[in-house]
């Protein structure tokens, strides 16, 4: 690959080398590598279903153990709210109240989310503010037709002279309206975290944000700090980080040549949320709860959700306790055949790890156990998007639990497609991670990434098609070589806001 001096300078300014860029181009030429799913993980076969008695025991165990550990909640929060308001942007561009009625437009689109938005928009947390702004910007607002009012309302929600909500980071969009205040997703994460990660009176949270948004989050925190600390009785330690530019990836054209902008510069794109393995790796804490920014509940449901977080934490402590005990035995090199059989049984029954080669020597077992650990909540599949839990065979013939996205399934293989359709659950990204080994040393998480699980996607730039490379997803290929446990959690713990109309669902309406 021949790069000009200008190209090399641009590459080096990113913190990359030409050889790294050439390797990315090689991946484009190779194409996506499909995984080999052997079967869907289901209850009793990869997913644990915990009854009420065991749930209470795990919660109690978590509560008794957590003060001995450093614990943090990690929230990827760099996403903009643009996609959340996509249907409204289309409406704003297309709807002319002088040419058609709102009903005609909605019937033509057949978009149920949009229907819900206009039917229930008075329940939106920012409705009153938007109407107040509309009347200020349009003194004759009350004299307008209903269709004109709807058009103006959407303009006010979206445009710079209004609330400009689609320009905000998603975490700072108003989500819930209470009698005394309106809460963003950022605030709800703090309130929830106080229930289960507080250690010595302090709750630690880490938000990954876009570089230009850090001050916006800090400003929001200054505005809500007194209220939320008084309400929870907890002090908060809030950290922020950015996605490192060196994790950006080159884009290519259909001929696998580097894509160039109209200024004839190389075009790099953020490497997807998989690049956040760097941010996770830089944390100092032992135990990290991981949850997406838009998955929050109203205050009256927080205790219900936090109980299941504690349950997952208790499960991690139990599994980790066993792993550490076995590793200490293996370090002593005084392990009987009976004990080795017990450990192999643990690998197969608790972690669902199997080896086609049957190689379960003491050194191999030690290698398997000495990995970061994650316990992942799984909800029954009711049509929501999300990766699925599967048993996956790697190139060495080893089988382990993995979270797999649809794009990783071999659509040309009927058996793989059939197996994928047998999935009963999906991942809501409800994960608790153990990031230190049995000697208290931090794992280098980069060693446990499956680099082959990168994604190639078709995108556009300046009206021209391009191919984009996303690094192995944070909870997919980014954690492919971790030890994994799946636990069923209720679907009520999963309340994502993918479109603005989701804020009108009952789960986002304070009682």
Is the pLDDT reported for residue 383 higher than 70? Answer: no
Phi, psi of 346 (to 5 degrees): -65, -45
As a whole number, mean pLDDT of residues 246-260 equals 94
**Residue whose entry in the numeric block shows the structure tokens 């103006």:** 152
Retrieve residue 375's tokens.
Answer: 């316990």
> How many CB atoms within 10 Å of residue 257?
11
Spell out the SS3 assignment of 368-381. HHCCCEEEEEEEEC
> 83-111: per-residue pLDDT in tens?
899 999 999 999 999 999 999 999 999 99
Tallying the residues shown for the chain, one arrives at 511
Q: Is the domain 5-81+245-494 a CATH 3.40.630 member?
A: no
Residues 61-86: pLDDT tens digits? 999 999 999 999 999 998 889 989 99
Compute the average pLDDT of residues 409-427. 92
**Each residue's pLDDT tens digit, 160-199:** 999 999 999 999 999 999 999 999 999 999 999 999 999 9
d(CA 307, CA 57): 11
Of the candidates 263, 361, 316, 324, the residue with the CA atom closest to the CA atom of residue 485: 316
pLDDT band at 461 (very low <50, low <70, confident <90, very high): confident
What pTM value is reported for the model?
Answer: 0.94
pLDDT attached to residue 280: 97
Higher pLDDT, 334 or 295: 295
- Look up residue 482 and give its two tokens: 């971790």
Q: In 293-324, which positions are buried (b, 16+ CB within 10 angstroms) versus exposed (e)?
A: bbbbbbeebbeebbbbbbbbbbbbbbbbeebb
Cα 328 to Cα 339: distance, rounded to the nearest angstrom: 13
pLDDT of residue 408: 87
Share the mean pLDDT of the chain.
94
Would you state the pLDDT for residue 334? 79
Q: Establish how many alpha carbons lie within 13 A of residue 381's alpha carbon, considering only the half-sphere containing its beta carbon.
A: 17
Percent of all residues in the chain with a pLDDT value above 90, rounded to a whole number = 86
Q: Which of 325, 240, 282, 302 is nearest to 435 (CA)?
A: 282
Residue 32 is classified by DSSP as P
Contacts of residue 491, Cβ cutoff 8 Å, sequence gap at least 6: 379, 380, 382
pLDDT bin (cut points 50, 70, 90) of residue 455 is confident
> Which residues have C-beta within 8 Å of that of residue 64, sequence separation ≥ 6?
none
Distance CA 156, CA 95 (A): 15
Whether the predicted pLDDT of 380 surpasses 60 = yes
Task: Pinpoint the residues of the chain covered by CATH 3.90.550.
Answer: 5-81+245-494
155-159, 379-383, 400-404: which range is least confident on average? 379-383
- According to DSSP, residue 396 is labeled T
What integer pLDDT is reported at residue 386 of this predicted model? 61
């Amino acid at each position: 690959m021949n790069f000009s001096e200008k190209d090399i300078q641009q590459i080096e300014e990113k913190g990359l080398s030409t050889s790294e860029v050439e390797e990315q181009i090689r991946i484009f030429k190779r194409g996506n590598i499909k995984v080999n799913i052997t079967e869907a993980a289901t209850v009793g076969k990869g997913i644990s279903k915990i009854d009420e008695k065991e749930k209470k025991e795990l919660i109690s165990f978590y509560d008794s153990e957590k003060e001995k550990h450093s614990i943090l909640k990690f929230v990827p929060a760099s996403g903009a709210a643009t996609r959340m308001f996509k249907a409204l942007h289309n409406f704003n561009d297309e709807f002319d109240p002088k040419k058609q009625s709102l009903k005609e437009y909605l019937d033509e689109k057949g978009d149920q989310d949009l229907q819900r938005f206009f039917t229930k928009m008075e329940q939106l947390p920012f409705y009153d503010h938007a109407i107040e702004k509309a009347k200020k910007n349009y003194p004759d607002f009350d004299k307008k037709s209903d269709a004109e009012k709807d058009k103006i309302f959407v303009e006010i929600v979206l445009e710079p002279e209004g609330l400009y909500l689609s320009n905000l980071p998603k975490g700072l969009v108003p989500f819930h309206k209470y009698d005394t205040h309106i809460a963003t997703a950022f605030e709800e994460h703090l309130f929830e975290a106080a229930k289960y990660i507080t250690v010595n009176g302090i709750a630690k949270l880490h938000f990954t944000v876009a570089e230009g948004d850090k001050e916006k989050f800090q400003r929001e925190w200054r505005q809500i700090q007194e209220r939320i600390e008084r309400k929870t009785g907890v002090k908060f330690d809030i950290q922020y980080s950015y996605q490192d530019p060196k994790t950006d990836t080159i884009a290519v054209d259909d001929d696998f040549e580097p894509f160039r902008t109209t200024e004839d510069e190389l075009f790099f794109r953020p490497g997807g949320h998989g690049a956040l393995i760097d941010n996770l790796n830089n944390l100092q804490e032992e135990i990290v709860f991981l949850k997406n920014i838009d998955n929050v509940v109203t205050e009256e449901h927080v205790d219900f959700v936090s109980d299941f977080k504690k349950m997952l934490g208790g499960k991690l402590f139990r599994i980790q306790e066993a792993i550490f005990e076995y590793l200490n035995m293996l370090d002593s090199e005084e392990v009987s055949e009976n004990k080795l059989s017990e450990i192999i049984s643990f690998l197969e029954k608790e972690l669902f790890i199997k080896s086609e080669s049957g190689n379960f020597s003491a050194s191999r077992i030690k290698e398997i156990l000495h990995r970061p650990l994650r316990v992942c909540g799984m909800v029954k599949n009711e049509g929501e998007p999300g990766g699925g839990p599967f048993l996956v065979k790697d190139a060495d013939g080893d089988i382990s639990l993995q979270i797999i996205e649809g794009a990783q399934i071999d659509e040309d293989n009927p058996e793989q497609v059939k197996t994928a359709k047998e999935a009963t659950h999906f991942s809501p990204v409800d994960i608790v991670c153990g990031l230190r080994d049995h000697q208290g040393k931090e794992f280098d998480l980069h060693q446990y990434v499956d680099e082959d699980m990168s994604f190639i996607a078709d995108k556009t730039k300046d009206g021209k098609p391009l191919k984009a490379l996303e690094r192995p997803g944070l909870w997919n290929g980014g954690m492919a070589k971790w030890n994994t446990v799946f636990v069923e959690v209720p679907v009520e713990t999963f309340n994502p806001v993918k479109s603005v109309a989701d804020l009108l669902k009952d789960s986002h309406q304070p009682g």
